[in-house]
Chain A
Amino acid sequence: MKATDKLIKAIDKKLERFDPLWQAEHGVGGFRSRYYDKTGVAKYREWRGVKDTFYDYSQWLKNLGSMAMMVGSAPIPCLKGFWEYRWMGSYLGTFMFIDRLFEGYRGYELRIAHMNMHAIVQSLTKKIALVLANDRRFGGGPLTDRMVPMDEVLPPLFMAGFKDLIPVPLQTLPEFIICDIDQHIEPYYIDVAESYGLPADVCSRCAAETGVAIDDAFPIFGKAFLTTNMPCNASEATSMFQRRRIKLPDQPVTMAMIHNEPGAHPYSTGELKNAIAFIEKEYGVKYDWDALFERARHMNEQNLIELEKWDILKTPYSALAGIAETLYRLYSWASVNGQEDYFTETDRKVIKLMRKAYEEKYQPFQGKTRHRAFLWGPSAVYYTDFPTWVQNCWGINIVLNMDSTMGHNMISTDDPEQAIQDLALFSEKAVMRHHAVGGWDNVNAIWEWAKNFNCDMVLFNDNVACKGMNGVHALMEEQARELGFHFIFIEHDLEDSRTVSRQEMRKCVNNYMSVVLGEQPLDPTIVEFDDSAAY
């Protein structure tokens, strides 16, 4: 053993009492011990041993660098953004968010988690700077008329054919990503929508988006807007509020609802062609298929890597785990969608590390996983850092989330007609569509997914305001019983943490694990705690 390794080992031994994993194992504390009550503010950062703590510190610096570059690249627009938009203030909670997500992560899983997270941070910070520097509310910028606002649940890959235009998912910055970082931001926008007269029992995501529109908190850019009916019809209603407020010419891209039917694809293909024609007309540009093919190659490579990741995820030796997998796939698929090289490069690095860990038969989380779960969960799982919590508290490894199963078909890179058909199929299986909308087969497919990924458990998020899914509650419970899965319904109100709090969500799991399975928690300090004032 090298002298440095000996030294590190000695320091690790000396400081192990500060490691929450060690504390929980020895009954002298745990993950919650270092927090101020309710706030989610830690007294000090997690001690993970010398190597992992320094690695985490280096990644903190890296993310800090990205944020400094964001402000440096557009200082005045960024300051104006912080002053004008409430949601910009919430981005200050990013460091706390990242700390929460990766609690208990060590070794390979920590490295992969940070690779994925930094890809998101560097991309988001660039997007924020781009949007604010070209926001018409602040006087616009050189790229304002080249940007195309589009609904965030419409996959932007097909827009790559407009090589001089910049598609920007409109809701991602002020609503979709930020609701994961700060649980208190969306209730404000929901209240704005409800005080306008929107009923209080609608999907909170749609209500929040509507509130952002009414509060004039959407940045304004571009010449025309692409809206969509995805993931569900509630979203279509939201689009109507937004078009009235944003006042740009718009084209609703209404993808087929029952997208498993082969007859639906020609319809969806036609919708994409109409969208392309609309943009050509409004922006006076011509679609370039070679430009599309170039980005489609990146998306295909990312999807091929994703399929290899799935093969490793089926085993106990996947160093990519939990929230590091679900959040990354959600962002890289829905927001980036093959358009940024950094994500292809990250995927290449991650799969290399995953292969290495697999060959070494490395088990993440010190091999403490007791159950492997397939998660059917939307936004509420992110602001609650749910996958991390279930692993640290009960040893339930979230193997895959529904968001990760989005469009993974290959897209033709040489035939325009085939490419647009492939893109239609790809786009139909977008965020929340692959399991929630599109007929019973899509909902019921969860059992097949769980079986294929060797899961013994299914965690099913129950959005109390989702009219579409309320009807399937009892059906799913019956199926789980028949098929022999451990099955937990987790009630939540998507982006409104007031209706169902984080602790109430955790309680659904606590009850099942302690009463039905009779298991003991790995860390008793995080079974029941109040984090209602945390971001």
Chain B
Amino acid sequence: MKKVVHFILKLVGKLALVGLIAFVVTFTIYMTNAENKLIYYVVRPLLNKHYDAQVRDRRI
């Protein structure tokens, strides 16, 4: 019984730690607007370069 309780407590502790880390990471990304900065300054310029290089057959 003691072992089971110990296991459950350990599991809950680990889950709480993972949850806390996930919260700190995602909340930091959210508050610093990091994902939008990455998209605006890095991802979209790269994608736009690719889109501009596409060759399209526009004949109707």
Task: Spell out A's residues near B (CB within 8 Å).
Answer: 39, 41-45, 57, 60-61, 82-83, 86, 89, 92-93, 95-96, 99, 192, 196, 214-216, 241, 244-245, 535
B33 contacts A43, C-beta separation under 8 Å:
yes
Which of A45, A57, A86, A216 interacts with B51 by CB under 8 Å? Answer: A86
B8 at the interface (CB under 8 A from A): no
A89 contacts B44, C-beta separation under 8 Å:
yes
B7 at the interface (CB under 8 A from A): no
Chain A residues near B48 (CB-CB < 8 A): 89
B40 contacts A60, C-beta separation under 8 Å:
no
Chain A residues near B58 (CB-CB < 8 A): 192, 196, 214-216
- Nearest 9 A-B pairs (CB), nearest first? A89-B47, A86-B51, A92-B39, A42-B33, A96-B36, A41-B40, A214-B58, A57-B30, A45-B33
Q: Which residue of A lies closest to B35 (CB)?
A: A95
A41 contacts B50, C-beta separation under 8 Å:
no
Q: Which residue of A lies closest to B36 (CB)?
A: A96
Name the distance in Å between B43's Cβ and chain A's nearest Cβ: 6
A216 in contact with B31 given A89-B44, A89-B47, A93-B39 (CB within 8 Å)? no
Which of A42, A57, A93, A214 interacts with B27 by CB under 8 Å? Answer: A57
Chain A residues near B36 (CB-CB < 8 A): 41-42, 95-96, 99
**Which applies to chain A's interface (DSSP): helix, strand, loop or mixed?**
helix
Report the separation of the CA atoms of residues A89 and B54 in the bound assembly, to the nearest whole angstrom: 14
Chain B residues near A61 (CB-CB < 8 A): 26, 30
B37 contacts A41, C-beta separation under 8 Å:
yes
Report the separation of the CA atoms of residues A196 and B26 in the bound assembly, to the nearest whole angstrom: 46
Name the distance in Å between B49's Cβ and chain A's nearest Cβ: 11
Report the separation of the CA atoms of residues A74 and B57 in the bound assembly, to the nearest whole angstrom: 27
Q: Which residue of B lies closest to A34 (CB)?
A: B33
Chain B residues near A192 (CB-CB < 8 A): 58
Q: Give residues 1-37 of B contacting A (CB, 8 Å).
A: 26-27, 30-33, 35-37
A45 in contact with B44 given A86-B51, A196-B58 (CB within 8 Å)? no
A216 in contact with B56 given A44-B31, A60-B30 (CB within 8 Å)? yes
Report the separation of the CA atoms of residues A42 and B41 in the bound assembly, to the nearest whole angstrom: 12
Name the distance in Å between A63's Cβ and chain B's nearest Cβ: 11
Name the distance in Å between B52's Cβ and chain A's nearest Cβ: 9
B33 contacts A44, C-beta separation under 8 Å:
yes
Q: Can you report 18 A-B residue pairs in the complex whose CB atoms are below 8 A from each other?
A: A41-B33, A41-B36, A44-B32, A45-B30, A45-B33, A57-B27, A60-B30, A82-B47, A89-B51, A92-B39, A96-B40, A99-B36, A196-B58, A196-B60, A214-B58, A215-B58, A216-B57, A535-B40
Report the separation of the CA atoms of residues A93 and B36 in the bound assembly, to the nearest whole angstrom: 7
Chain A residues near B50 (CB-CB < 8 A): 83
Report the separation of the CA atoms of residues A192 and B51 in the bound assembly, to the nearest whole angstrom: 13
Report the separation of the CA atoms of residues A214 and B41 in the bound assembly, to the nearest whole angstrom: 29
Q: Which residue of A lies closest to B40 (CB)?
A: A41
A214 contacts B60, C-beta separation under 8 Å:
yes
Chain B residues near A86 (CB-CB < 8 A): 51
A92 in contact with B44 given A83-B50, A196-B58, A214-B58 (CB within 8 Å)? yes
Report the separation of the CA atoms of residues A39 and B60 in the bound assembly, to the nearest whole angstrom: 37
B60 contacts A45, C-beta separation under 8 Å:
no
Report the separation of the CA atoms of residues A45 and B26 in the bound assembly, to the nearest whole angstrom: 13
Chain B residues near A196 (CB-CB < 8 A): 58, 60
Report the separation of the CA atoms of residues A60 and B36 in the bound assembly, to the nearest whole angstrom: 12
Name the distance in Å between B32's Cβ and chain A's nearest Cβ: 6
Chain B residues near A95 (CB-CB < 8 A): 35-36, 39
Name the distance in Å between A207's Cβ and chain B's nearest Cβ: 14
A92 in contact with B43 given A83-B50, A86-B51, A216-B57 (CB within 8 Å)? yes
| Given pairs A44-B31, A216-B58, 17 additional interface contacts (CB within 8 A) | A45-B31, A45-B33, A57-B27, A57-B30, A57-B31, A61-B26, A89-B47, A89-B48, A92-B43, A95-B35, A95-B39, A96-B40, A99-B36, A192-B58, A215-B56, A245-B60, A535-B40
Q: Which residue of B lies closest to A92 (CB)?
A: B39
Name the distance in Å between A67's Cβ and chain B's nearest Cβ: 11
Q: Which residue of B lies closest to A84 (CB)?
A: B54
A244 in contact with B60 given A44-B32, A82-B47, A89-B47 (CB within 8 Å)? yes
Chain A residues near B26 (CB-CB < 8 A): 57, 61
Report the separation of the CA atoms of residues A334 and B30 in the bound assembly, to the nearest whole angstrom: 32
Q: Which residue of A lies closest to B51 (CB)?
A: A86
Chain A residues near B37 (CB-CB < 8 A): 41
